[in-house]
Amino acid sequence: MPFALPDARTIHPITLQDGTPHAGTVFLKAVIDHPQITVGDFTYASDFDPPEPHGWAARLAPYLFDFSQDRLVIGKFCQIAHGTRFLGASANHETRGLSTFPFSVFDPQTLPGYQPDTRDMIIGNDVWFGHGATVLAGARIGNGVIVGAGAVVRGIIPDYAVVTGNPARVAKMRFSPQEVATLNNLAWWDWPPEQIALARPALGEGDVAALAKLA
């Protein structure tokens, strides 16, 4: 039987050899209904202690509330390993005063709308977050990035970079500038699922030229 992608609306997209679904992996678009979170098709998260389906938003972005003024936007085909957290602007305190204590949140008159930091976290397509990665407010992570285990990401990360450490720094680029430009122009993550399934060999082997021929 030819390879086919699972339905993007599936909650548990991995089926084990005994026919049972793997409860520890979910397609996030099927389980997250949060006004400040947008997730693309086929992006999945895995956890060794998975929450109930309605709990994935709080697990991944614990400081992003319904009333938050910042957003988390994740592209398509991202892979999010156990322990990854998105610590958005809602978690931050005011730093321009003499004290960082959030007095305003303890006053009902000043609590509504209090959020000194409103920067969004924007994640590209086909980004792999290793075990225990942390993404901070305002991060802009490009397409095809690999975030190493335990890395703490802030700022702008270029397309197809590999970043490691705290703070995360570019360890290397996965492809040449010309290949990166080609991959972004091809935007394979926007192709129909049937075409992506046919492109599986080229995607798995890192053959940019072969992928271009399938476009």
- Enumerate the active-site residues: 93
DSSP 3-state assignment of 194? helix
Q: Contact, 75 vs 40, CB < 8 A?
A: yes
Alpha helices in the chain (DSSP H): 56-60, 177-186, 193-198, 200-205, 208-214
Largest alpha-carbon pair distance within the chain? 66
Distance in angstroms (rounded) separating the CA atoms of residues 163 and 174 = 11
Contacts of 14 (CB under 8 A, 6+ apart): 21, 22, 25
- How far apart are alpha carbons 143 and 161 in whole angstroms? 9
Is the dihedral angle over the CA atoms 164, 68, 78, 179 positive or is it negative?
A: negative
Pairing of strands 121-123, 152-153: unpaired
Neighbours of 12 (CB within 10 A): 20
Residues in the chain: 215
